Amino acid sequence: MRIATVVAFVFALVGGHAHAQGVVTQRNVSLGMAKTMAEAALAECASKGYHTSVAVLDRAAQVLVIMRDEQATAQTAEMARRKAYTARMFRISTMEFQKRTAEDPGREAQRDLADIL
């Protein structure tokens, strides 16, 4: 009887674990939405006299869109990508990231990670 109880318990654990391995659904920005976001950001910058670049990443920090104003310098596209990557990885604005890493000596090394701006 005791063995049957142990076997039933093991099957219950395995069965519960197998059930938890279903398909995971995640929400992500579509390419169309990414283009709209990038175009709106460039238009806003242009209205203020800034010639820059914009990068939009998905939830996995992969580039969906990079757009550069015709008058923006070449490095702005890479800077936009790294800025977007930093914001996505740390889930805060790059201004807040700079503030946190400047105030906390324990976080200084985060600024030296690859692709962080």
Domain definitions of the chain by residue range: 28-112
Residue 24 confidence (pLDDT) above 60? yes
DSSP letter for each residue of 27-89: ----HHHHHHHHHHHHHHHHHTT---EEEEE-TTS-EEEEEE-TTS-THHHHHHHHHHHHHHH
> pLDDT band at 114, cuts 50/70/90?
confident
pLDDT mean across residues, the chain: 87
Q: Read off the pLDDT of residues 34-58 as tens digits, 9 standing for 90 and up.
A: 999 999 999 999 999 999 999 999 9
- Asked if residue 6 has pLDDT above 80, the reply is no
- Specify the 3-state DSSP secondary structure of 8: helix
Tallying the residues shown for the chain, one arrives at 117
For residues 83 and 98, is the Cβ–Cβ distance under 8 A?
no
Asked if residue 13 has pLDDT above 70, the reply is: no
CA distance 38 to 76: 14
Q: Report the pLDDT averaged over residues 96-111.
A: 89
* Alpha carbon of residue 31 to chain centroid: 15
C-beta separation of 37 from 60 below 8 A: no
Q: Tell me what the mean pLDDT of segment 1-17 comes to.
A: 53
Can you give the pTM of this predicted structure? Answer: 0.75
| Nearest by Cα to 81 from 54, 43, 107 | 54
pLDDT in tens, 56-95: 999 999 999 999 999 999 999 999 999 999 999 999 999 9
What class, spelled out in words, does domain 28-112 have in CATH? alpha beta
